Structure 1
Amino acid sequence: MMVRKFLFIIFLLIIVQSMAQQQYVISQYMFNGLVVNPAYAGIHESWSFTMMTRSQWSGIPGAPTTHTFSAHGPITRNKESSAGLIFVKDEFGAISFNNVFGVYTYRISFDRGQQHLSMGLQGGFSNFHVELSREDLIDPDDPALNSDYNSTFPNFGTGIYYSDKKFYAGLSVPFIVNNRLNQNEQDLSRQVRHYYLTGGGIFMLNHDIKYKPSFMVRYLDGAAPDIDITNSFLLKDIIWTGITYRWSNSIDFILEIQFTDNLRFGYSYGLITSELSQVSTGSHELVINYRIKKQHPKVNHPRRFR
């Protein structure tokens, strides 16, 4: 009994520490930018609503699942100021993070409105919960497995985002404060600050096909950076298809369909290239985006970039 209890506690601490050092991972970051950079708010030129669900490492009990909802859009007539809302639910076995953040972005336009530089701030609360009393974990004879941990703490983040007709780039720190996850003084698990660098471009190959390379780098202190490199193509401004290589981790196949000017659907499948492929069938991610139809006819259609 004591050996099993000891092993379980060690396993739990490893999970908590690993979650503290790595924020949620998403494959379709180029279509769900607000969850990694608050300066992304308002980039669609109209109010936009995005839902995403991700099942990582399918086939492994307790593997990570992530659900996000974001809404953002301009709040001034000249579209210089935008606001947004982010909700993220990230679960890993008996551990869950819930994040609720409000976003404000100010955008500067220059070169006759062809180039934009946005600066964003977000603030809100995160909830960290460990549910040891779940039926599939509980041992009636072990009081250590009959208690839960629950903690709520504030945080804030910031970012910048540049875009023009052919290129975009962003740099962000979504969670700046390294909060302690558990108020127990003997538990040293903390949030760890993450830095995100994104960028990409779009090039017209012919009238019907456009090529869009993009990348995302995730970095945190004390760990090697994670790098996503994506090559995708836009067919007739309706279908996105692409491949993402996540360094030493997975190859993701992405398909996005623009059903109407308002509605878009995306799916990605992650083929694991690490040793986890022996026990997992891969990762799945679904994204649905709805945008209120823009009223300004001179604005370039935003689907090419985001």
Structure 2
Amino acid sequence: MPIKKRTMKIRLWKLLAAGIISCSAEQAAAQQHPVYAQYLFNGMVVNPAYPSMDEFSSATVVARNQWVGMEGAPSTGTFSFYSPLKATRTSIGFLAMQDKITIYSQTGFHLNVSQKVKLDDKLFLALGLKGGMEQFRENNTHLATDDPVFAQDQQYWKTDIGFGFMLYSEKFFVGLAAPSFHNFDLGNSVNKVAFKRHLYLHGGMILDVNKDIKFRPGLLFRQVGGAGIQMDVNASFLFKNVLWAGVTWRTEKTAAAMMQLQLTKGFQLGYAYDFASAGYLNGIQSGSHELMLNYRFSFTKGKTLTPRMF
């Protein structure tokens, strides 16, 4: 390939990544912290205090393909596990994540610990901490260029720490979290990527419509670095403690429809379809797909598994 065409291809890949990040506040987070449609069923990705809200052990796998049909579009895979420690109010967990966009990838491994305190008969306060390592890669050799700036793949490891609080009862929760607490820059003077602190304020409640139907409204506010505040508004209905059906709307001009089906007492399968209402994405992609599989269980024999509301 002629040098001029190679250089043009490199610039196109770089522009695609930059365009995806800059034109959508959602993807600005996804380059650093992926945005999930079904985060309420996998809350540890947002708030390290989340495991303390659950009396049972839980393992969750999430696969997300964003903006299907667009070359170099983001894809994300996540595995999380947490479990309460017997005879304590402490929960421990593990979170692994990989996120890819064009030639960039991010892989993280984190340990999580949370502790809850009983404030009264129905109200609890939980504190969560997480720590781990994240690897950032820039696969420049895939660009097939003679430019020495892009002659080698770039790889960086960074420590990552975060914390969160949750105030909750059986009927509501309010949380505040910074799952990545520090800012840092990666790359060199030619290619520099800034990773910003993420802050989340989120909450929800559960309301009984009748004996068979429950309604769960929720809000999430997200602030990344010096950017403005982004908001998710979601609403879901639970039918006979078996089927969740809901929608989410985001101020980044995207929305999602989702369903979660309780296959057995322990297994839950979820699917979400995201679509963009912004004109700059229409006609060049066919939406985003997110698949979730969750398994909840107890190490204590004879303990009855109850449906999870949050």
| TM-score, normalised via structure 2 length | 0.89
Count of residues in correspondence between the two structures: 299
Displacement of 1:259 in angstroms is 1.4
Report the AA paired with residue 204 of structure 1. D
Unpaired runs of at least 5, structure 1 = none
Partner Cα separation in structure 1 for residue 225 and residue 103 of structure 2: 26
Which of 104, 113, 134 matches 2:113?
A: 104
Other structure's SS at 1:271 match = strand
1:91 aligns with 2:100: yes
Displacement of 1:7 in angstroms is 7.4
User: Counterpart in 2 of 1:131?
Assistant: 139
Displacement of 1:187 in angstroms is 4.5
Checking the alignment, whether the CA contact within 8 Å between 1:155 and 1:176 is kept in structure 2 is yes
Checking the alignment, whether the CA contact within 8 Å between 1:51 and 1:70 is kept in structure 2 is yes
Task: Tell me the alpha carbon deviations over residues 60-117 of structure 1, each in whole angstroms, 9 at most, x when there is no partner.
Answer: 0110111100001112413x111110111010011000011101111101322x2211
Partner Cα separation in structure 1 for residue 214 and residue 299 of structure 2: 23
| CA separation of 1:38 and 1:264: change in aligned 2, threshold 3 A | same
1:37 aligns with 2:47: yes
User: Counterpart in 2 of 1:147?
Assistant: 152
Task: Tell me the alpha carbon deviations over residues 212-269 of structure 1, each in whole angstroms, 9 at most, x when there is no partner.
Answer: 1012111123322221111110000000000111124222111000112211010000
Partner Cα separation in structure 2 for residue 300 and residue 167 of structure 1: 20
Displacement of 1:190 in angstroms is 2.1
- Give runs of aligned pairs for residues 281-296 of structure 1, distance below 5 A: 281-293=286-298, 295=300
Which of 62, 69, 78 matches 1:59?
A: 69
Task: Tell me the alpha carbon deviations over residues 112-164 of structure 1, each in whole angstroms, 9 at most, x when there is no partner.
Answer: 2x221110110111100011112xx324x444443211000101000001211
Report the AA paired with residue 198 of structure 1. H
Displacement of 1:298 in angstroms is 8.5
Partner Cα separation in structure 2 for residue 228 and residue 294 of structure 1: 35
Task: Tell me the alpha carbon deviations over residues 166-195 of structure 1, each in whole angstroms, 9 at most, x when there is no partner.
Answer: 11111100111212222x355442210011
| TM-score, normalised via structure 1 length | 0.90
Partner Cα separation in structure 2 for residue 207 and residue 300 of structure 1: 19
User: Counterpart in 2 of 1:216?
Assistant: 220
- RMSD over aligned Cα atoms: 2.4
Partner Cα separation in structure 1 for residue 301 and residue 176 of structure 2: 28
Deviation beyond 6 Å, 4+ runs, structure 1: 296-300
Checking the alignment, whether the CA contact within 8 Å between 2:83 and 2:92 is kept in structure 1 is yes
Displacement of 1:302 in angstroms is 4.3
Partner Cα separation in structure 1 for residue 144 and residue 112 of structure 2: 39
1:72 aligns with 2:82: yes
Q: Percent identity?
A: 32
Which of 123, 143, 147 matches 1:115?
A: 123
